[in-house]
Every structure is written in C-alpha cells, then in structure tokens.
Amino acid sequence: MGGRACIRGMRITVALLVNLVANGMTADDITREYPDLESEDIRQALAYASALANDEIHLFTSPAA
C-alpha cells in the first residue's frame, strides 16, 4: 500500500477509514461495507490519526554542539 498505515495487515488504510468517518459514515455503516473490519479497528484508526495530528515539529535554530 505504498507505505501507508493499514489496518491489521489488511489492504484497508487508516486514511480510507478516516475519510469514511469524515464523510458521515458510522462504524456500523463501515463494518457493513467492509465485513472484515471490527469497530475496534475504526476506533484504533481514529486514535492513530489523532496522534499524528497532535505531533509537534520543533525546528533547531542552531546546530547541536
């Protein structure tokens, strides 16, 4: 999958699940469309995306001594 984060080794990406939720699908809707998924997979995908969104980047202003 080109290095993208996937769910439990499936060919379903975190980005796909986040996009489905963002577009109004519920966990029940998603698990009906993707029966190999569990509601915990969706929760974990959202938690992962949240962690990425909270990452902070700290730029160095001078080289380390």
Q: Is the pLDDT of residue 49 over 60?
A: yes
> For residue 59, is pLDDT > 80?
no
How far the first Cα of the chain sits from its last, in Å, is: 40
Residue of higher predicted confidence among 5 and 29: 29
CB 55 within 8 A of CB 43: no
pLDDT for position 9 = 82
Residues 6 or more apart whose CB falls under 8 angstroms from that of 30 comprise 17, 20, 21, 37, 42
Higher pLDDT, 64 or 8: 8
- The predicted model scores a pTM of 0.76
Mean of pLDDT values over 12-39? 95
Residue 65's pLDDT is what? Answer: 56
